[in-house]
Structure 1
Amino acid sequence: MSFGESAAVFKARAKDIGLSDASFAKLEGEGLTTMASFAFCCHFNPSASDEKPLVELVTKVLGAPPSLKEMSCFRRLFAEAYATVASDIRAQVEMTDESAVKKLAPADRAERLREQQGRLAGLVLKGHHEPGDSLVDRAVGIYEADRLQYIEWQHAVSRQHELMSGLKKDQSLALDSSGALKMQTKVAVQTCDVSSDMFVRYALVRRGLALEQANILAFKLHDELLEKYMHYRMMEPPPSYARVCLKQIEQADKQFFLLLAEHTRDGIKVKAGKRPCDEAFKTVLSSAEFLAMLHPRPLAVHAGGSGNADEEKGPPLKRPRKGPGKGKGKGGAKGSANGRVPAELLAMGCVSATPKGHALCFDYSLGKCTRTAKHQRCERGLHLCAVKNCHRGHAAKDCPNKAVGAADEAILDPEPAGDNDRPDNSSCFPPEPPLKVAKLGDPVAPGMQFSTVAVFRNLRSPLHQDSFNSSVPNIIAPLSHFQGGEVFVEHPDGQDSEVLEGTTHAGFRLNVSESCWAFDAKHCKRLKPAIGRMNRACPGCASHEPWGLTATNEWSTAQEAAHPTPLCHALCDVFEHVAHQRQQPLGAAQPVLARAHRQPRGRLRPQVVSEYASVVSCTLPHLPSLNGKRCLTRSLPKVPAGSKLLRAENRGDKGVFCVFGVFRDFVEFVEEASRLFHPFDSLAQLPDYLTRSLFEQLVSSPTDLCKARLLKMQRWRDRAKELEPFEAKLREAMHPQVRQVLAGKRLCLLEEMAKDIQWPDTELFAEIRSGFRLVGCLKPSGVFRVGGALGALSEDELMQQSAVRKADLLSKIAQAKVDENAQQLFDVTMEEAKQKHWLEGPYTPQEVDQMFQRWLPVRRFAVVQRGKLRPIDDFKESLVNIACSTSEKIVLQALDHIIWSLTVLAHFYRDRGAVDFTLSSGERLVGHVHKEWAMVKATVPLEVATLDLKSAYKQLALHPLDYDKSVVTLKDPSSGSVTCFLMRTLPFGALASVHHFLRVSFLLHAIGCSFGVSWAAYCDDFPMVSHATVSTSTAATIKAFLKMVGFSFAPEKCTDFSQQVDVLGVTLDVSDSACGLVKIRNKQSRCEELAEALKTALEAKALVPCELPSFIGKLQYADAQIWGRVDHTSRLPAQLALT
């Protein structure tokens, strides 16, 4: 709650100012209990000279004329109330994410605590139970933001904790939302202790009290949530399940507030006397998503320790053993039967040690051991047969019990048996293709030669390229029934598309589950996941627990069958696939790594640019010379100096196997970074209707695009004829002056076209028909950004000052000197009145007095631009502009839209491929650039043209209620008398005129885009972009559309489509657009003007004060064309140095 809405703050300020209790009681009797209600109880401005309204209010409240002291107190109280409410409104309008949390007033804070203590009689709000000021302020900030946020346990501090630990102020330099550098101060409170159950209970009680004081959630409901947490905490878990720990409760607490936030998306502020959080509390409390977080969890498989629930440990599950065990503890082990065995012996069914753990010599089993043996033992092991369960005095190769055909079955093993000193990418396969597996290729590709046969099960791989494969195509065929598993092969002529890491790739999607395919492995490809059979055979465990029930009346095989390894792998594959679809990164299991005392390796999110340009592996006779960062000090064959040693493995007599990461140089890194996807490539700053227009131009052929424009234009022309009776009836209902200004406008047709594109500004057409207002609070259109400014005067206050303001302005105009432009200005004004009928007149001030009881003159003056005189009406001087309030901020991005459209069209016309645009609603526009554009792309570039509306403001009418506030007044040079004219159209110089006209301009822009035209709107200037093949159609479509709805454009200002055009103060050169290049530079005339101004200033070593604004404006404009958005930031060091 803001200061203006607090009754406690109002009462405290009234007493501090000196208002008596009796006077304040009379204020409360009238219902004036807050700053806001008192500030808006009468039409009085503290800065006004006449305080009659305030005196009348005080007299009415007290029932008698106030004394000097009472009047002084009321005057001060009203001024504070007015300033407080104005500050609250400004803070709400200008609030950003960087705005500091507003603190409660001490009176309001004490009142809330006092009221809460009176309601909660059984709870003493002292010590550990009193919430801290920072906690209450944060809760109130959440309520003011109207969006539910989570308050962490450790931040729910007590008032006692704040007093004992104190506050820490951290100052730092930071950039605000506008790019300015500012000093930022953050007040940090030390977190409270939540390590035990009692501390957690205290913290949650304080959080519940703070949420109730902020009017977010009732304390009774929050206490019910706390009791549920403690119930699950103290509940005994089932066997083999861990007790619910505090960490699990904290996760459940976060899940509860997440679900509560989803149920209160419309806001958390009180509506109709009810709290939205209270209404949704019971639903969330009983939801399955929340309760599932509080259920006891199974103990970890290999968790050791005491089984403390807080550490999430438990007794290990029983697993079948694969051997007799070591038996002697540390240092007593002799060997393992599961040691690493060469592939030749493994194919014979050999092991590495005897059942008693004695190591065996592999060379002897292969018949090639040359070492000295004593008592059938050499330095490598026993000279016995290595075949399992044999171990006699002969070599394994001569053993009659050796396995036959083991190599044929090895290809189906889930894990490779050995690398056999082969490359890493082939070590997972047997040494040579077995004959029975090789025969599988005969029915698929008879007569095909191949060197490798691989059998995959649910293989997935990222986009990669096998550059070192032979030119023989790869054959891929299904061996079972499954779904999915497509292979995406990138190709520029492909009809399919895939979005990988934000980049759209064109290619072919091969459905392997239905048929066989052949493709070139040197193209980039990606394997997608498949769904195969769900059942799995026993992996061949040595032993199982006996079938039956245990002493605890549980199945003996339940624990070992709870989560078999294949099932775990399958579940992980599903979760990984879903996470990839939702673009959520997968990290390591932090609790498991922490329990194993291992530091997590790798990165949580992938690198934008890979760290190394390539990874090279080689075998060296010894470890190379490295520096302190494990980088090469001298170059090696194929490995440059400075490369980093990633891994080294000693392979005995063969040397040291080393893997090096080769870094990129600066140029290579920049080139790689320039090829990455950039957020600007997502067209996020373009409106949806312009994005749709670009998409339509790309996926349609030139003939289809022109035909679609003609058909749509003909449809609206037919509809215009049908609406003629309605148009005539609508014009008859208009005010005569408004009807005269809007002659020729088809408003019914324009309104239907706006509904066809679902234009959000539905109130625009009613305002066009009645005329636009110049004062008051302008209605939000839903087209512009939220922002704006508050007016300093209301309409009534403006007209109350009209008499004084009128006399001052008429006197100023009568005493003004006649300059060289006075006669031409008067002639132009007479032409507007007699020929164009934009004004009505001339009249004398006395005649205007007879028309209006109160009226405001608007002084007209002349501004000469490029040799042309432009009349300007000064509505700021007449105070009309400060009586206008807006709730929207207008940002013109016409040049950005044009440049963006040019770059998009140039890119796709040149490179073609798949088109994938995402709208603000999440809808995706997917297609391919039409092939006909490729036939003209090399010879015909893009072109640009401009179109200007003729007397844009004068095509819209002014509301009759504002005729008395827009009386154009100037001096007749011939007679020297003051002459007045009544304004009938939108005036040039009024703040409201800009807002009203841009609403119409943006509507015309959106409807034009629906015809498949790429153009932009900058007030009355409309630059257009088109391919030269359809430029004639583009220009004809826009001009026909404007004529159809009745808006006039200036033919003499329109430029034809060409490759170099001056538009919006810059020169666009698209002559090289076929090469993907768009050139932008300042206009030559502006450069010459700026050069002349700089030369004059440097020669004179001085600046004329009256010419300084124009000089700085030209300099900043030219500077912004070079630096763009960096312009403001680049000037910060100079500004800081000057200050």
Structure 2
Amino acid sequence: MVKLDLTRDFDVQLLHDMIDNPFCLYVHFAPPCGTSSRARLIQATAHDPEPCRDDTFPDGLPDLPDLLAQRVAAANRLYGVTAAALKRAVLAGKLVSCENPLNSFMWQTTAWRQGTSGLSLREAVFDHCCYGGNRPKHTLWVHNVPAFDQLNLTCPGESASHKHLPWGRVSKFRYATSEETAYPLGLCKAVAALLLEELCQRGFQLPARSLSDEVRQQHRAAQVSLGYQPRGKKVAPMVVVVVTSDHDFLPASAKLPVAVPVPPSASCDPPLPELPMGSRILRRVALGGGETPRSEPSSQPSSRNPGNPNCPVEQFASVCLQQKTILADDVIQLFQLLKSDRLARGAGLDDEFSWSTGAYAQGGVTGVRANLHGATRDILVAYTTNHTDRLTADQTAELQCAKHPRLMSSGVPPELQQTIDFLASEGMHAVGASRTEALRQWLGRAAELDEQERVYKETLPKHCAKTLGKKRLLLFGEMIEAAGHNDPSLVADMSKGFALGGPIPYCPEFRAKRTAATMAVDDLRGSAQRMRKGILNSTKSSGDDVVDAETYRVTLDEVERGWLDGPLKESDLGASSLLTRRFGVVQNNKTRPIDNYLESGLNATSSSYDTITVHTADCIASGLARRLRADAKCRLHQLLLKSWDLHKAYKNLPLSLEALEDSFLCVYDPKGKCPRIFRQKVLPFGSRHSVHAFCRVSLGIWKVLVVLFLCHINVYFDDFVGVELAPLARLFDIGVCLVFRLLGWDVAEDKESVFDSCAKVLGLKFDLSESRLGRITLCNTESRRDEIFEALSDILSSGYLPQKDGERIRGRLQFAENQIAGKIAGTAYKQLSRFVLRGGGHLDECTRVALLRLRDRVNFSPPRVICANILTTMHLYVDASCEGDNVGLGGVLVNEVGSKMGFFSERASEHVRRRMNPESGNPIFEYECLAILVGLRLWAPLIRSTNLVVFTDNEGALACMVAGISSNKYGEVIAQHVHVLCDELGLNIWFERVNTCSNVADAPSRGSKDPELGKEFTIDLDTLVDHAFESWGL
């Protein structure tokens, strides 16, 4: 969220930038009514707000008090800005809308009328009470979205089921109008649904509704492909059902008491003949419009609306509709027949929901409105039924072919997928020959371009030419073009240097994500001298002499390398030159200089249309898993891994000439005991622009390696991680190093590694020693484990944890936990989070136990295992019933061809009921969790080393199992046992919700033992519950 003051030119420009953004599809305006409210004309008491406008003076009454006149003038300026921005959006092809009360004077102001002149806009009029509001607030919605015509829905009047709150004063200093400024939730849902409908009709790709659709975010797709289930709603459900109808055929309840046939007038996706009993209505949206919505001003007669003979307003309006021309006198007479607070109304009968007539007046234009068929439209969203007896033959076949989510998502970039598939399908000789030919081709091309490269660099700014001296820019440009890399301006941007502030250049290869600036570059430069004094005064010793000395030494080393100029005097800086403070951070026993562009304000001036793409550890692991599954040669030859780290990566790219005025830095000189000023000529570490710029370049290099040289390789900022079979590893290494050298990039010699079955990458240890058996493991490196162990031990010894240190250790623990199998540390991590959020301090006993458990977890728990041998998918349906003392648990195991392999139907004894949260009056949540544990324990021999999808109809149990934690201690203990058991059985488990009506385990949970469910299995429930709870002291 960005707060803008549209009376400031810079903020208006930011708004225009947002509108011009190619990823901006829709813009909605809702200028405050304030001075334009007709409620000000009602002067019931001496304390009521003064009128500001009337129909004669819509731009403001003459002789207003100074303060009120200033408010009216400011409002008029805002209306002008709104109108101009709306017109800009329309001309740019965006979908737009603007809202204000129907009788607001804003529509008549000169600023609005002139600003929107020439635009062909549609209109929708509705009452807020029709969408769940408390009062019949009449609203005009001006737009260019055809789907919004369906918003027309006017109030039929009060009835037994439809009541209004009164207008007027609600407290001494508060009026009812202030309570109606927020949109009702029903209106928000309707607008969102209609906007999606319009975008869909225009060919836009909507967000995934199910896991069978593409998972857009690469890191989420990688997690799903590895069988890791994110918490909450970060990924879509496996399947959904959407039902749309132009009339309300569903009951008002949230759960269908009986099966409801889907009428011909309704659409259902996927098609179902009926909605089974028990289906839950998760979302319902009421929309106006219907068969023939009419939103534009119209004077066409309507034979369907003769007017109610008992309503003078409608009789008169019906006569007006027969005329070819509507006169101003007609409108005035109609206004006199209407109440002042309602400009359009029907007869007000309870059964009259289909149409209304009336008049409108807007901006000097008058007309008569006909609103036909204002019926509601309901949208039902529910999970598809998985009960095979209730599905058609095609749907049953689709269910039987359902895959585990890890097989429904790749998580591997498409270019790398194609390369992996090529490596899997071709022999090693063919792969080696292809790479050798590519190297020969581009080596020859590099020689041909040598003279052109020299001439091209002579045209560059001197500091750019010096920084890029070793780079073959023209060759790189041809390579990325041949590789199909969609970043046409990359080489040109490298050549002229990159900026440090303002808009970040758009890269089509990155994922779209709008980030707005919060400050203008010119505003920042305007305060440069004042800020400079503060930054110089704050540049002091860190308190660590070693860090201070090393930071300054590295700075002088950068001067010798030509990356910095200096030391300089303060007088060498221009009036608008910006200064940034440099400080040192110790990482892995090395001091790294960081330039604080957040403090200097330059990062606040950065805006972007996208976010960088890097390949996380999950993405690397996902590529390894795909290679193991696709390439049969991995079973014959050892799979190896190696990483390359580009040397001084950011220092290989120059700043632009304009950025040189923003690149001054000051660093503490420990000998002189004062700050020293330098000027950077290359990308600094700490700037948003630097990260974006370098990642564009590294992604281009990665694309070249993958597409042109057929390398299975990933990139994470300046780290490249390659994977290859042992016989091809040497050629792979030579090829990658040659490409780096060809493009002028050096590899860090101090981080040089060799192809090996075990490699340390991104602070993790990848173990490929069992790759021929289809297994790969990931774990934290020994140094990371030792570092966390030492940090936690120090905290436990001191008995004190400050909040800032707690946030730091919590983040390190979270990263480390992701590389460990299972989720049994969730309880301890939750306790640590609570302690930190409370402000930290002296450790209490619960937090001390949690830290001990986390320390043991990081050091002694098993690593993550990626196994390509798990090919079998099974579904486990579980349910519980709890009616007083009659408690039942049921489960059904279904294989991947849809055959029911068996079921269990257990009654909870009195002993079990006493153990299962005796304080709860209805512990259905605990029993739903227990049913999952029973199913896993009972069928452990059958489900071992499979892809297992567990279906439950209890949302609480689902969330508990996914997260591994719960606020309910009994459910949490069961979840912990479930995850321990999953680790022991080597399960790739996924938890999913199923409707109660579609849950085949519902009948067994109620004691039914149908032979069609397969063989009955039994378990000693008392012993299972005792074992689960005794280990946790329950």
**Of residues 413, 416, 438 in structure 2, which corresponds to 1:712?**
438
Match of residue 752 from structure 2: 1054
Instruction: Measure the CA separation in 2 of the matches of 1:707 and 1:1101.
Output: 63
**Pair 1:817–1:191, CA change in 2 (3 A):** same
Asked if residue 882 in structure 1 is aligned to residue 604 in structure 2, the reply is: yes
Distance 1:801 1:66 in 2: 36
Mapping of 1:463-542 within 5 angstroms?
none
Asked if 1:160 corresponds to 2:156, the answer is yes
What's 1:487 paired with?
A: none
CA deviation digits over 1:46-94, x for unaligned, max 9?
Answer: xxxxxxxxxxxxxxxx9x999566556667988999999999999xxxx
Question: C-alpha deviations, 1:1041-1086, integer Å up to 9, x for none?
Answer: 1111112211331311111111112111111111111111111221
How much does 1:1113 deviate?
1.7
Cα distance change, pair 1097–700 in 1 and its aligned pair in 2 (3 A): same
- Check the 8 A contact 1:102/1:137 in 2, yes or no: no
Equivalence map 1:567-966=2 (5 Å): 602=392, 605-606=395-396, 677-681=403-407, 684-813=410-539, 819-834=545-560, 836-846=561-571, 848-849=572-573, 852-910=574-632, 933=633, 938-966=635-663
Distance 1:189 1:698 in 2: 46
The code of the aligned residue for 1:897 comes to C
Between 1:16-25 and 1:691-700, the stretch displaced more is: 16-25
Q: Secondary structure at the match of 1:760?
A: coil
Change in CA separation of 1:998 and 1:222 when aligned onto 2, cut-off 3 Å: farther
Give the Cα separation in 2 of the matches to 1:142 and 1:1025. Answer: 57
Which digits, 9 at most, give the CA deviation of each residue in 1:210-237, with x for residues without a partner? Answer: 6746xxxx989999999xxxxxxxxxxx
The letter of the residue matching 2:529 is A
Question: Separation in 2 of the partners of 1:224 and 1:726?
Answer: 78
For residues 640-664 of structure 1, the C-alpha deviation after alignment (integer angstroms, 9 at most, x for no partner) is xxxxxxxxxxxxxxxxxxxxxxxxx
Paired with 2:752 and 2:547, the residues of 1 have a C-alpha distance of 28
Contact 1:760/1:782 (8 A) holds in 2: yes
1:5 Cα offset (Å): 4.3
Once residues 138 and 711 of structure 1 are traced to their aligned partners in structure 2, the CA distance between those partners, rounded to angstroms, is: 72
* C-alpha contact (below 8 Å) 2:527/2:576 kept by paired residues: no
After superposition, the Cα gap between the structure-2 partners of 1:984 and 1:785, relative to the gap in structure 1 and judged at 3 Å, is: same
> Which residue number in structure 2 is paired with residue 12 of structure 1?
36
Deviates more, 1:1052-1061 or 1:1123-1132: 1123-1132
Alpha-carbon contact 2:425-2:631 (below 8 Å) kept:
no
C-alpha distance in 1 between matches for 2:148 and 2:292: 15
1:118-267 equivalences in 2 (<5 Å):
158-160=154-156, 165-166=161-162, 179-180=231-232, 206-207=289-290, 212=295
For the 8 Å contact 1:862–1:869, the answer to whether it is kept is: yes
In the alignment, structure 1 residue 1035 sits paired with structure 2 residue 733: yes
Amino acid in the other structure paired with 1:890: I
Q: How many angstroms does 1:727 deviate by?
A: 1.4
For 2:423, the aligned partner's letter is Q
- Once residues 529 and 756 of structure 2 are traced to their aligned partners in structure 1, the CA distance between those partners, rounded to angstroms, is 56
The answer to whether residue 775 in structure 2 is matched with residue 1077 in structure 1 is: yes
SS of alignment partner, residue 765 of structure 2 = strand
Give the residue type in structure 2 aligned to 1:838: W
Pair 1:106-2:101 in alignment: yes
Output the CA distance in 2 between the equivalents of 1:1050 and 1:722: 29
Partner Cα separation in structure 2 for residue 821 and residue 741 of structure 1: 28
**Contact in 2 for aligned 1:786/1:887 (Cα 8 Å):** yes
Cα separation, partners in 2 of 1:608 and 1:760, compared to 1, 3 Å: same
Counterpart in the other structure of 2:846: none
- Give the structure 2 partner of residue 981 of structure 1: 678
For residues 141 and 82 of structure 1, do their structure 2 counterparts lie closer, same or farther at Cα, with a shift above 3 Å needed? closer
With over 3 angstroms needed to count, the CA separation of the structure-2 counterparts of 1:996 and 1:822, relative to structure 1, is same
Specify the alignment match of 2:839 in structure 1: none
Pair 1:1014-2:1009 in alignment = no
- Preserved contact between residue 157 and residue 191 of structure 1 (Cα < 8 Å): no
Q: Secondary structure at the match of 1:1058?
A: coil
Matches within 5 A, 1:44-55: none
Change (3 A) 1:128 1:687: closer
In the alignment, the residues of structure 1 paired with residue 461 and residue 64 of structure 2 have an alpha-carbon distance, to the nearest angstrom, of: 48
Instruction: State the SS of the aligned residue for 2:801.
Output: coil
Q: Percent identity?
A: 21
Q: C-alpha deviations, 1:740-793, integer Å up to 9, x for none?
A: 111111111111111112211112222111111111111321112121421110
- After superposition, the C-alpha distances for 1:147-205 in whole angstroms (9 at most, x for unaligned) are x76999xx975432797754998999x999985589xxxxx99985799xxx99xx999
Deviation at 1:977, TM superposition (A): 3.4
Q: How does 1:80-91 map to 2 (within 5 A)?
A: none
Q: Residue by residue, what CA displacement relative to the aligned partner does 1:102-151 show, whole Å, maximum 9, x if unpaired?
A: 994435899889999xxxxxxxx99999996689999999978x7x7699
Give 3-state SS (helix, strand or coil) of 1:943's partner. strand
Deviations 1:1095-1130 (A, max 9, x none): 333343321445323311211111222379998977
Question: 1:802 Cα shift?
Answer: 1.1
C-alpha contact 1:945 1:1057 (8 A) present in aligned 2: yes
Structure 1: 5+ residue runs without aligned partners? 30-61, 96-100, 117-124, 183-187, 227-584, 588-598, 611-672, 911-932
Task: Kindly state the Cα deviation for residue 726 of structure 1 after the two structures are TM-superposed.
Answer: 2.3
Counterpart residue identity of residue 614, structure 2? L
Residue equivalent to 1:280: none
Q: Which stretch shifts more, 1020-1029 or 772-781? A: 772-781
Separation in 1 of the partners of 2:733 and 2:965? 46
The TM-score normalised by the length of structure 1 is: 0.46
- Going by fraction, where is strand more abundant, 1 or 2? 2
Counterpart-to-counterpart distance in 2, 1:111 and 1:768: 49
Q: d(CA) in 2 for partners of 1:19 and 1:1123?
A: 68
Q: 1:1103 to 1:103 in 2, by over 3 A?
A: farther
Structure of higher RCO (CA pairs closer than 8 Å, 6+ residues apart): 2
The letter for the 2-side match of 1:1001 is S
What is the deviation of 1:725? 2.7
> What CA RMSD, in Å, does the superposition of the two structures yield over aligned residues?
5.8
Structure 2 gap segments, 5+ residues each: 1-24, 41-48, 114-122, 164-183, 190-208, 211-216, 221-229, 235-242, 251-264, 267-285, 306-383, 831-958, 970-1034
1:733 corresponds to which letter in structure 2? T
* Contact in 1 for aligned 2:419/2:712 (Cα 8 Å): yes
Report the TM-score when normalising by structure 2.
0.50
Given that residues 706 and 1030 in structure 1 are in contact (C-alpha distance below 8 angstroms), is that contact kept between their aligned partners in structure 2?
Answer: yes
CA apart distance, 1:839:
0.5
State the 1:729 CA deviation: 2.3
Q: Residues 440-496 of structure 1, C-alpha deviation per residue, up to 9 Å, x if partnerless?
A: xxxxxxxxxxxxxxxxxxxxxxxxxxxxxxxxxxxxxxxxxxxxxxxxxxxxxxxxx
